[in-house]
Structure 1
Amino acid sequence: MLNGDEAALFCCILWSIWKQRNNKVWNGVIEAQVVVLERAKVLLQDWRAAKSYQQHSSRIQNTADSSKWKKPTVGQYKCNIDASFSKHLNKVGIGICIRDDTGTFVLAKT
């Protein structure tokens, strides 16, 4: 069972592997494994720094205003994504919700 830090690193490595695959398929770029791992470590460092900053700034900012959903521009769709990890249950949850430019529900997946 992974602890919180290990789970976070694991998720970042998975994302970096996905990024490596996309770079190969769409851009013809082949990356070494060391690049994949380094990108995952940097992603995790950046995420932790952003989370720390967000926790600090959320004390100052009114979160009710910043968390209100906004419609996409006319003719566009908006896809909201959220994910969570429970270290106690060792489970990951991911969900998406797509809405059109009027805010009407189109599709959701979990």
Structure 2
Amino acid sequence: MPCLLDKLEERVSSEELEEISMVMRSIWLRRNEVVFKDTFKSPSQVMTQAKEELRTYYQAKQKLRQNTEPRVTEGESLWSKPRESFVKANWDGAVDKERKKVGLGVVIRDEEGEIMAAV
């Protein structure tokens, strides 16, 4: 049974899918700010944030293409696959206190271990 992501991948380019994902993320973050911090962001602020984050994402992607040396060696994988007809999202984050930067990555895989999406 196709999920929303499958349907989107059939209809839009990968760049458009990245943009849609970033807008959806910004909407979710806005929702959290309203619920947990009682702060308001206008729709135009949400879109500005999404565009800025997308630009940062593309810059990071470009830097990765330029850097051909692996920074991490592969070790034994502890990943376990989800139940049939489920997907699994694994994420990790890093904080650089000195530069006041935070990074987050997410990988979504199906029950066969195939990557469906990554940010």
Task: Verify same fold: TM over 0.5.
Answer: yes
1:20 to 1:63, Cα distance in 2 relative to 1, 3 A = same
SS of residue paired to 2:40: coil
Instruction: List gaps (5 residues or longer) in structure 2.
Output: 1-10, 77-88, 92-105, 110-115
TM-score between both structures, scaled by the size of structure 2: 0.54
SS of residue paired to 1:83: strand
**How far did 1:35 drift?**
0.6
CA RMSD of aligned residues (A): 2.7
Q: Which structure is larger by alpha-carbon Rg, 1 or 2?
A: 1
Deviations 1:37-84 (A, max 9, x none): 011111111011001111212x134542xx548xxxxxxxxx942335
Report runs of 4+ in structure 1 exceeding 6 Å deviation.
Answer: none
Structure-1 residue corresponding to 2:41: 31
Determine what percentage of the aligned residue pairs are the same residue. 18
TM-score between both structures, scaled by the size of structure 1: 0.58
- Higher RCO, 1 vs 2 (CA within 8 Å, ≥6 residues apart): 1
